[in-house]
Copies of this chain bind each other. A is one copy, B any other.
Amino acid sequence: MDVNTITSEKEEVVIKFAGDSGDGMQLTGGLFTDDTAISGSDLATFPDFPAEIRAPVGTMAGVSGFQLHFGSRRIFTPGDRCDVLVAMNAAALKVNLGQLQPGATIIANEDGFDAKNLRLAKYADGENPLDNRSLDAYQVIRLPVTKLTREALADLPLGTKEKDRCKNMFVLGLLLWRYNRRLDTTQRFLEVKFRKKPDLLSANQRVLQAGYHLGDTMEEFTTRYTVRPAALAKGTYRNIMGNDGIVLGLLTAARKAGLPLFYGSYPITPASSILHGLAKHKHFGVKTFQAEDEIAAICAAIGASYGGNIGVTGTSGPGVALKGEAMGLAVMLELPLVICNIQRGGPSTGLPTKTEQSDLMQALYGRNGECPMPVVAAASPSDCFETAFEAVRIAIRHMTPVMLLSDGYIANGAEPWRFPRSADIPAIEVSFARPTADGTPFQPYARDERRVRPWAIPGTPGLMHRVGGLEKEDVTGNISYDPANHEHMVRTRAAKVDCIADHIPEQAIQAGYEQGDLLILGWGSTYGVCQSVTLELAAQGYRVGHAHLRYLNPFPRNLEQLIRQFRSVLVPEINNGQLVSVLRDKFLLPVRQYNKIQGTPITVEELRACALDILGEQ
C-alpha cells in the first residue's frame, strides 16, 4: 500500500450505490455488503427499486439504489443520510442528492453525465451538476468509470456492451480499497458467479482490480478508512431478507411440527417472493399452489389444514380484503391457518412498492361478525423467522387462523442473522384426534383446557363429522340456532384467543430503562429506529425505554403494567395511529403518537426529535 495515504477510523458509514436499473447496483451493493459482514461490522441494507418494471434508461424513474449502513456499534437501520454516494449517472445523483450528509463524498461516473443523460435527468440545458459548483458542499470524486473500464478490458474479445456491464466492478474495487479491505472474498464470489463464463469472470476480476489499484495510484485518494468489528454475539451469521425469513420460519415450523407445509397464494407485491422462495424448496415437501385469486388461495390453504397439513396463505392488503369471508370460516372451523400480510401503501391499490403499517385494524376487525383472530407482527428481516415460527405454533396449538403482519420495508430489507441450529429449535406438538376407544360418538367441538377442539383428519376411521360456517352447537358441532349456544360460542371463540396470552412470553423492555419518563412502544418495521433512538437517548442519560410488540392480539398479559412504569408513552407508526386506537380502547390510556404516512420508514432524526419534544415538556 502506497505511502502517502493515511488510514483513519470510523464508527459507522452509510453508502448508497445508485445507478440505472441496468448498472448492476444491487449486485455491487450485495457484494460489498458480504465483504463488510465478513469484516465483522454490524450492518443493515435496503434496496430501492424503480416503481416500474423497466423504466426508460437514464431517467429518474429508472434509478435503482442499494443502501448499506455498517459500523462498529450495533446497527439497526439502513441509515437516514449517506456519507458516500456512488452515482453512475446524472439521474442517480439527482434522485439521491437529498439524502446526503453535509460534506458527504460523491463518487460520480463522468460518463453518465453526458448531454443525453443530463437531459433524461431533466437538468436544465447546458447545466451539469459536476461543473456548476452546485455540489460544492460535497467532496466530489469524478471518474470516467466507463472509459476506465473499457481501457482495462481493451485487449479482451468482448463487445462494448459486455465490457460496459463490468463497470460496477470498478466502483466496487475502489470502495473495497477505500475501506481498507482485501479483494479475495469478492474474487471468490465472482468465481462462483461466473463459473460457467470464464471470460466474463476474468473481465470482472480485471475491472475490480483496476478500481482497487486506482485507489493506490490516484492523488485524490489520500485516506483509507477502517471500521472496527462490532461487538456482535459470537457465532455463525448469514444475511437475511424479510420474506426469506418468513420462508425459513414456515419451513422450520412445519418441520418441527412434523407436518407438510401447504402454501396457497396469488402473486402480489411485496408478498410474491414468499411464494417464489417456498416454491424452490419442494424437497422440503412444501406444496405451493398459485391459485386463480386470493380467495381460492386461502380456501385451498384451509382445505389443506382440514386435511392435516399446516395451511398458509400470503398476500398484501388488497388481497387480505378479499380473504375476509374465508378467514371468518376458518374462525368457525377452528382449524390452524396462517395468513401473511406483507403490508404496502394503501388504501386500495395505493403505493404497491412502498411500505406502510396501515393494515392493523383490518387484521383485527376486517371480518363480519364477532370474529377474533390472533395477530403477530415481525419487527425486522431476521425477526420474520421467529415470528413466522410463532404464527405456526399458535395456529396449531390453539387451532385458529393467525394473521402475520410484515411490510415492504422488512420484506426487502436485509440484515445479518445469527441463525439457529435446528437441534436448538423446540418441536411444535401436534396431536390429531384418534378414534374413541369405547366407540362413543366423536365430539368435534369438545374442548381442552385451552378451549381448543380436536383436529380430526379425514381418512381417520370413526371420526366422520361435518364442519361449516353456520353456528354450531359446542361439543357436538351440530348446526344450532339456539340463542344461548350462540352467545356461548361467541364468547368461547373470544376466550380461546384471549387465553393465548397465557402461552406467549410477557412483554419485555428491549432497550433502555425498565421505567422512567418515556416508553417508545412500537410494532413491526419501526423496530430499528426505536432501538437506535432509545439507545442513543438512554446513553445521553434520558430515562427512555423501548418495548416492541410482536403479539398484537392478544397483548402480553403484563403490557398495561409495563406501560404504566413510564410517565409518557410514544407510539411511532407508519400509519395514521392504528395501534394508538387499540391501546386507547384497551387501556383508556392517553398515548403520544408519531405518524409518518409517506411510504417510507421513520428516520432516527424524526423519532429522536419527537421523543426529545416529549421529554422536554415533562
Contacts and interface: CB of A to CB of B under 8 A. Distances in A.
A362 B364 CA distance: 9
A588 B348 CA distance: 30
Contacts of A348: 325, 328-329, 331-332, 368-369, 371, 469-470
Nearest to A588: B588
A318 B576 contact: no
A557 to B, nearest CB: 20
Contacts of A576: 370, 490-491, 494
A370 B354 contact: no
Interface stretch (A77-85, A243-251, A546-554, A590-598): A590-598
A317 B600 contact: no
Nearest to A317: B368
Contacts of A596: 487
B351 A471 contact: yes
A331 B347 CA distance: 8
A487 B362 contact: no
A481 interface: yes
B366 A324 contact: yes
B346 A371 contact: yes
Interface string A321-345: 1101100110110000000000101
A484 B584 contact: no
Interface string A561-589: 00000000000000110000110110011
The complex is assembled from copies of this chain, and their number is: 2
Contacts of A366: 321, 324, 362, 365-367
A484 B332 contact: no
Interface in A148-166: none
Interface in A342-389: 343, 345-354, 356, 358-359, 361-362, 364-371
B588 A584 contact: yes
A486 interface: yes
Contacts of A353: 481
Contacts of A329: 348-349
A468 interface: yes
Given A481-B599, A494-B576, A576-B494, A358 B347 contact: no
A590 B588 CA distance: 7
A320 interface: yes
Contacts of A358: 368-370
Q: How large is the interface on A (under 10, 10 to 19, 20 to 34, 35 or more residues)?
A: 35 or more
A428 to B, nearest CB: 26
Contacts of A126: none
Contact of A369 (B317, B325, B371): B317
Contact of A469 (B350, B483, B486): B350
A481 B353 CA distance: 9
A51 interface: yes
Contact of A364 (B331, B356, B365): B365
A253 B367 CA distance: 30
B354 A486 contact: yes
Contacts of A320: 368
Interface in A436-481: 468-471, 481
Contacts of A585: 581-582, 584-585
Given A369-B359, A483-B599, A598-B486, A349 B318 contact: no
Given A487-B598, A584-B585, A597-B491, A369 B354 contact: no
B486 A345 contact: yes
Contact of A470 (B332, B350, B364, B483): B350
A292 to B, nearest CB: 14
Contact of A324 (B324, B331, B370, B575): B324
Interface in A507-539: none
A575 to B, nearest CB: 6
A352 B356 CA distance: 36
Nearest to A487: B597
A364 to B, nearest CB: 7
Contacts of A588: 584, 588-590
Contact of A328 (B346, B481, B484): B346
Given A321-B328, A370-B346, A584-B584, A486 B365 contact: no
A474 to B, nearest CB: 14
Nearest to A490: B597
A347 B318 contact: no
A483 B347 contact: no
A354 B367 CA distance: 18
A373 to B, nearest CB: 10
Contacts of A343: 368
Given A350-B369, A483-B599, A588-B589, 17 more contacts: A317-B368, A322-B322, A324-B324, A324-B362, A328-B346, A328-B347, A332-B349, A346-B370, A359-B368, A364-B365, A365-B365, A366-B367, A370-B597, A487-B598, A491-B597, A494-B576, A585-B585
25 contacts: A317-B369, A321-B366, A321-B368, A324-B324, A324-B362, A328-B346, A328-B348, A332-B349, A345-B369, A345-B471, A345-B486, A346-B369, A347-B370, A347-B371, A348-B368, A348-B369, A350-B469, A350-B470, A358-B369, A366-B366, A483-B600, A487-B596, A491-B597, A494-B576, A581-B585
Interface of A: 51, 316-318, 320-322, 324-325, 328-329, 331-332, 343, 345-354, 356, 358-359, 361-362, 364-371, 468-471, 481, 483-484, 486-487, 490-491, 493-494, 575-576, 581-582, 584-585, 588-590, 596-600
Which 4 A-B residue pairings sit nearest by Cβ, starting from the closest?
A346-B369, A317-B368, A347-B369, A483-B598
